Structure 1
Amino acid sequence: MPLTLLLIGLGFIAWVWLRGMPASRRKQAIMKLTLVVGIFIVVLLAATGRLHFVFALLAFLYPLLRKMFPSWLASLASGDTGQAKTGRQSQVSSDILEMTLDHDSGTMTGKILKGSMAGRMLADLSESEFLELLRYCRAQDEDSARLLETYLDRRFGDSWRADDDAGSSGGAEGEASADRGNGSSNLTESEALEILGLEPGASREEIIQAHRRMMQKVHPDHGGSNYLAARINEAKLRLLG
C-alpha cells in the first residue's frame, strides 16, 4: 500500500511537471521521464530479487522488435536517435551588432558591439533608442541596419515601421541597397559554422540538416527575413563549396 501511494504521488508530480514544460521541449522531457522511470523499475526489481523477469521479457521481445522496428534499433545501437540536437544557437554578426538565434524557440537576442550604446542588449532598449540605433546603423553599416530590421520585425512585427521616417522614405533606393547586401560579404569558415550553429568538423549531412532546420524558421515565405535567409544560404555554400 505505501508503495502504491508513492507511485501515485510521483506520477502526479511528473504530470504537473510535464504540463509546465514548453511545448517545444515536452517530447524531450517525456523521453527523460521514461528513462528515469525505467531505471527506477529496474532498481526496484533488483532490490526485490525479481530482476530476472526483466531479462526474460527482453529476451522474448527482442526478436519481435527486430522485425517490427529494425531501423529504430539500429539507430539506437549507434547512438543516433534521428532527432535534432536541442540547445543549439546560431550567431550572425555585423560590424555593429551580434545576433543570436535559438533553434528550439526561434527567439532572437542581440548585443550592440559599437557606438554610443556599445555593450547594451537590444532587449533593454526603448523605442526611441531603437530608432536612434537604426539611424546609426544605416549611416555606418548597411548589414547592421538590415540585421537590426530583422530583429525589429521578429519582435514587433510591422508596427515599428510607422515611426521609421527614414525607412519609409527610402523607397527603391533602400530596396536596391538591400539587394546589394545579399551575399556581399565573404564568410570565413568559423562564421559560417556559427551561423548554422555547428561545430568544426561537421559532416555534409549535418550542414544540410542545419541549413534546412534554420530555413524553416527564418524563410521569408514563413514570415521570416530575406537577410537572414541569404546569410544562411551563404553559410551553407561556404561550408559545402
Structure 2
Amino acid sequence: MNPFGLIILSAVALAGILWIQSRPPQLRERAKWQLIIILCALFLLYLSVTGRLHWLGALVAVMLPFSRRLIPLLRYLPFLHQLYKRRQQTPGSSNNRSRVQSAILEMSLDHDTGAMHGTVLQGPLTGQTLGGLSEKQFIELLQYCRDHDQESTQLLEAYLDKRFGDSWRQDDPGAGKDSHTNQAGPLSENEAFDILGLEPGASESDIISAHRRLIQKLHPDRGGSNYLAARINEAKDRLLS
C-alpha cells in the first residue's frame, strides 16, 4: 500500500476509534464491528482501484481447503466472547470505581475491595490525600468541614467509619455538635452516574446491578455508612426516575 492510501486508512481508523469512544457503553461492541466492516470495505475498494484484487482471490483459493477444518471451530466463538466479557469485568476496569465530590472532599470507592480513597479540595490541607493524614490532621479537617460544609462532614465521617470503625469518635472533640450548614442538594444526573461508577447512557439493568453491588458492601448493617448508603439509593432513584 502506498503512503497516501495508508494515511487515508489510518485517518478513517482513528476517526472510527474516536466515534466508538463517544458511543454509550452498551452500543460500543456493535460500533466496533461496524468500523471493522467499513475498514475492510475500504481496503477491498483500494485493491480493486489499484488492480491488486487478483492476489486476494489467489489467497482465498489457497485457504479454501482449510475451511472445512475451521468451520467447526466457529461454534466456540460464543464461549470465547463470554470469556472476553468476563475478563473485561475483572478488578481494575475503568467502571469499577465510584466517585463522590463535595465542596471540600473528593472520595472514591473501589467496588471490588471496598477501599475508600480521598483528596482534600479546599482548606488548610488542600491537595493532601486522606491516606496520608495524621490523627491530628484528621481532627483539624473534620472541624473545618463542620464549620463550612455539612455534606463534606458526612463524607469524611463515612470515610473514618470505614477505615477506623467507631474508635475515632472517642477522640473526636466535636462529637455531638451540630453543623450550621445546610444538607446537600439534589444529585445531578452526572453525579448519580459517578456515585454508581457508571458512564452516562448506562442501561437500567446496569444501574440496578451497580446499586445492588454497592449496597451489599456499604449497607450500615454490614459495617457501612448511613450517609453513603443514602447517596447510593438517591443516585439509583435519580437515574431511574
Instruction: Please give the range of the TM-score, normalised by the shorter of the 2 chains.
Output: 0.5 to 0.7
The 2-side partners of 1:224 and 1:211 are apart by 14
Over the aligned positions, Cα root-mean-square deviation in angstroms equals 3.2
The answer on 1:160 being equivalent to 2:168 is yes
Q: Does 1:86 align with 2:91?
A: yes
1:120: which partner in 2? 128
In 2, are the aligned partners of 1:192 and 1:235 still within 8 Å (CA)? Answer: yes
For the residues of structure 2 that align with 1:207 and 1:191, how far apart are their CA atoms?
13
What residue number does 2:228 align with?
228
Q: Is residue 2:208 matched to residue 1:237?
A: no
> 2:112 & 2:103 partners in 1: Cα distance?
26
* C-alpha separation in 2, matches of 1:136 and 1:115: 7
Q: Is the partner of 2:155 in helix, strand or coil?
A: helix
Aligned residue number for residue 190 of structure 2: 190
- Equivalent in the alignment of 2:206: 206
In the alignment, the residues of structure 2 paired with residue 91 and residue 98 of structure 1 have an alpha-carbon distance, to the nearest angstrom, of 7
Contact 1:112 1:121 in 2 (8 A): yes
Distance 2:120 2:192 in 1: 20
| Cα 1:79/1:126, change in 2 over 3 Å | closer
What is the one-letter code of the residue matched to 1:102? D
| CA displacement, residues 4-26 of structure 1 (integer Å, 9 cap, x when unaligned) | xxxxxxxxxxxxxxxxxxxxxxx
Does structure 2 conserve the Cα–Cα contact (< 8 Å) formed by 1:75 and 1:81? no
Distance 1:82 1:123, change over 3 A: closer
In structure 2, relative to structure 1, the CA distance for the partners of 1:230 and 1:149 (3 Å cut) is same
Q: CA deviation at 1:59?
A: 4.7
Identity of paired residues, percent?
52
Q: Given the alignment of the two structures, is residue 106 of structure 1 paired with residue 114 of structure 2, yes or no?
A: yes
Name the SS for the 2:153 alignment partner: helix
Q: Secondary structure at the match of 1:224?
A: coil
TM-score for both structures, normalised by structure 1: 0.62
State the number of aligned residues: 171
Q: What stretches of structure 1 of length at least 5 have no aligned partner?
A: 1-51, 66-72
Once the two structures are superposed, what CA deviation does each residue of 1:129-181 show, in whole Å capped at 9, x if it has no partner?
100110110111111011101111111111111111211x33xx57xx99x84
Any runs of at least 4 consecutive aligned residues in structure 1 with deviations exceeding 3 A, and if so which? Answer: 73-86
Q: Which runs of 5+ in 2 are unaligned?
A: 1-65
Larger Rg: 2
Q: What is the CA deviation profile of residues 197-240 of structure 1, one whole-angstrom value per residue up to 9, with x for unaligned ones?
A: 10111000001001111111101111100000010111111111
Distance 2:126 2:204 in 1: 37
State the TM-score, normalized to the length of structure 2.
Answer: 0.62
Task: Report the counterpart of residue 144 of structure 1 in structure 2.
Answer: 152
Q: CA deviation at 1:86?
A: 3.2
